[in-house]
Amino acid sequence: MNEIEYNLLDEKWIKVLKNDGKMETVGLKEVFSKAHEFKSLSGDIPTQDLAIFRVLLAVMYSIYQREDVDGSESHLEFKNDAYERWHSLWSQKKFNPEVTDGYFEKYRDRFYLFHPSRPFFQSPIKTGTAYSVPKLNGELSESNNKVRLFSTVGGDCKKNMDYGDAARWLLHVNAFDDTASKSKDKTQQLPSPGPGWLGKIGPVFIEGENLFETLLLNFVLLDEYQEVFPEGQTIWESDLVKTSESALNRNP
């Protein structure tokens, strides 16, 4: 993973269904700038869409908990601030690409699928949990121990995967990782991590008329006590580099 390659901001890897019923593949910048033109995400399986949807929501929290709809710095402190921020976004009926693109450009180097020190959603370690294409592909989830019968994927597609497919399934495996996918380093003596976070919580979401509305309807700024949620930090914003997680093979 010594090369810097495939930036998820620009490369087309997110599958969407347009309002006119046509399918399209877009990058992270475009999925926000044209969210009002898309009916929904439309990846390989629904759980894959959910994993990507959660990343899109994380982007929204990263931006709009700290900035107003025009991009000016404005941190949320009180309940009325949250109401006004949400209503301002909803009233626009679309995202302002100057704001979303401006945010993404601050962290451009953190969105490379392949990077020697900061590969997206991966750990830059020499050895890690091996993910062959049949294992990474959530439609297969096939280990080396047994072959899945009545597979929905076959032939060359079962052995090879392009980078866009790998990026989508990478988010899926991080969200719904199974109990078998853990480090083989016996010296660590770590307990089995179990399924990923989305595999544990059984998430549901509200769906709007288009992707913009769906994102806004699930963009919750207040907790159950009507207090503003504290600001968090996404994995691409953090300077902490994890060194003991699963790694994506350079040749998917």
The Cβ of residue 157 has, within 10 Å, a number of other Cβ atoms equal to 16
Provide the β-strand partners of residue 217.
none
Taking 3-state DSSP, the helix, strand and coil percentages for the chain, each rounded to the nearest 5, stand at 35, 10, 55
Contact 5, 114 (CB under 8 A): yes
pLDDT string in tens for the chain (252-residue length): 568 999 999 999 999 999 999 999 999 999 999 999 999 999 999 999 999 999 999 999 999 999 999 999 999 999 999 999 999 999 999 999 999 999 999 999 999 999 998 999 888 766 656 667 766 776 666 556 666 555 656 556 566 789 999 999 999 988 987 655 555 555 656 566 667 788 888 889 999 999 999 999 999 999 999 999 999 999 999 887 665 544 454 443
pTM: 0.86
